[in-house]
Amino acid sequence: MKALVIGSGGREHALAWALSRDPKIDELYVAPGNPGIAEIAKCVPINTTKIDDLASFAKRNKIDLTVVGPEQPLALGIVDVFQKEELLIFGPDQKAARIETSKSFAKNLCAKFHIPTPKWQTFSDTKDAIGSLDKFGPPWVVKADGLAAGKGTIVTRDRHDTEEAVKRELQHEGGKVLFEEFIDGWEATFMATVSSGNVQWLTPTFQDYKPVYDGDLGPNTGGMGGYTPVPTVTHSLLENVKNSILTPTVEAMERTGVHFQGVLNLNAIIKHGTEDPYVLEFNARFGDPECQGVMALVQDGLVEHLSLIANDANNPRSPQISSSASVVVVLASKGYPTSQSFGDRITIRPYSAQNVRIIHAGTARNQSGELVTGGGRVLNILATGDTVESARRDAYAMIGNAVRFDGMQYRTDIGTIATRRRPLQVTRT
């Protein structure tokens, strides 16, 4: 079987790694890939936004299954193009991807079908938005309406920061900003595969770390790490999330003529003192870095499952998943997320730990062939273990010993088991 993964980041490296372990895969391609991916698959120099070129490659090389990693090609309609060419592809079409590409679409769906989500309102005029601040806070939750690579949310008590966020977001393409009611609680990521109008596989639940600094301080990033299992995620909470949010959302899309096939990724907040989940946002693809943690736990059946989902099958067998814990620690470039550093030499020394893997996210090769930073999130240290604490210990043992580069920044508190409250950001002093 021939498979193609679309993307070049850590999520795609993890997907390629999991697919490469599947005995059903004979040939594996990744477009465009990265230096780490090149060690396990054939990298194809086609940008993720070159939809027609990707479809032509898949058709020419008789690819049996294409798996889309990032959101941008989904937003551009890669699934629509592939399906028109009768190419099997895992991911939602452009219409269904609006669950991520338009927060107002997602919020309207929740409102119409009574899916729990914080109160909200969208604005396209600066004066109207700023004039409505007193209805929503403090604290204020301000979100970009469109794609923002995980960095389009600010939660703050500072009115000046809120007004600046409004002005900034209204300048972006689409010209919309969303205000949301603040809910004091803790967040978790729930990912589910969807086909034939049903939730099929609910992956292990992760707690993600968005703010850049320890203690949930600083601006939001695309994610600085995560872990599973989350002790506060009980079986009853999982059932509540599935029955009150995931299944009703899939059914709501079907009732409005939107057929979803792929991964529905829910970032939920659970109000403190309750097991009541609320929708913060949806993604139409695997989370990053949560996907890395899931792929480390997949033991068998991934290719079969993704292929059946892509074929819109009902009740396909779920992949076999290890009961181990999983921890992901992101190593970012200097200045991330407000700036990026490129071209810093990366040193990766041999290591013996079998339960640890280095996932490439933002790496490149310089003219001399040396491995260097490519900006943003550079590497992910992925570890598994009997407990979160043991996986966490092994992941952090790699940093500085087996892996290093100038300006490397990372959080030191990923996987510390403590109840976290939704952070308020301080973006100026």
Confidence class for position 219, pLDDT limits 50, 70, 90: confident
pTM of the model: 0.91
* pLDDT score for 373: 98
Pairing of β 198-202 and β 120-123: unpaired
Average pLDDT of the chain? 93
Instruction: Give the model confidence (pLDDT) of 343-354 as tens digits.
Output: 999 999 999 999
Rounded distance, CA 245 to CA 202, Å? 13
pLDDT at 72: 96
Residue 312 amino acid letter:
D
Q: What does the alpha-carbon distance between residue 55 and residue 376 come to, in Å, rounded to a whole number?
A: 28
Find the mean pLDDT for residues 213-222.
91
Mean pLDDT of 250-264: 98
Of 11-15, 28-32, 424-428, least confident by mean pLDDT is: 424-428
Of 13-22, 66-75, 290-299, 420-429, minimum mean pLDDT range: 420-429
Query: Predicted confidence band at 427 (pLDDT cuts at 50, 70, 90)?
Result: very low
Is the predicted pLDDT of residue 426 greater than 60, yes or no?
A: no
Answer for the pair 425, 155: CB distance below 8 angstroms, yes or no.
yes
Instruction: Give the number of other Cβ atoms within 10 Å of residue 23's Cβ.
Output: 8
Residue 308 scores a pLDDT above 70: yes
Kindly state the DSSP code that residue 48 receives in the 8-state scheme.
T
Is the pLDDT at 324 greater than 60? The verdict is: yes
For position 428, what pLDDT does the model report?
35
**Is the pLDDT higher at 422 or at 281?**
281
Please write the tens of the pLDDT for every residue from 144-166: 776 655 556 778 888 888 888 88
Q: Give 7's strand partners.
A: 32
List the helix and strand counts (H, then E) for the chain. 14, 26
- Kindly indicate the confidence band of residue 429, based on its pLDDT and cuts at 50, 70 and 90: very low
Q: Which domains does the chain have, with CATH numbers?
A: 2-90 (3.40.50.20), 119-180 (3.30.1490.20), 183-321 (3.30.470.20), 325-405 (3.90.600.10)
Residue 425: is its pLDDT beyond 60? no
Query: For position 103, what pLDDT does the model report?
Result: 85
Report d(CA 199, CA 330) in Å as an integer.
Answer: 30
> What is the band of 422 on the pLDDT scale with cuts at 50, 70, 90?
low
What percent of the chain is modeled with pLDDT above 70? 95
The larger pLDDT score, comparing residue 44 to residue 152, is at 44
The total number of residues written for the chain in this structure: 429
Q: How confident is the model at residue 317 (pLDDT cuts 50, 70, 90)?
A: very high
For residue 423, pLDDT beyond 80: no
At 132, the pLDDT band (50, 70, 90 cuts) reads confident
Instruction: Scan for tokens 């999982």, then name that residue.
Output: 238
Task: Please tell me the predicted confidence (pLDDT) of residue 424.
Answer: 59
Mean pLDDT of 374-390: 97
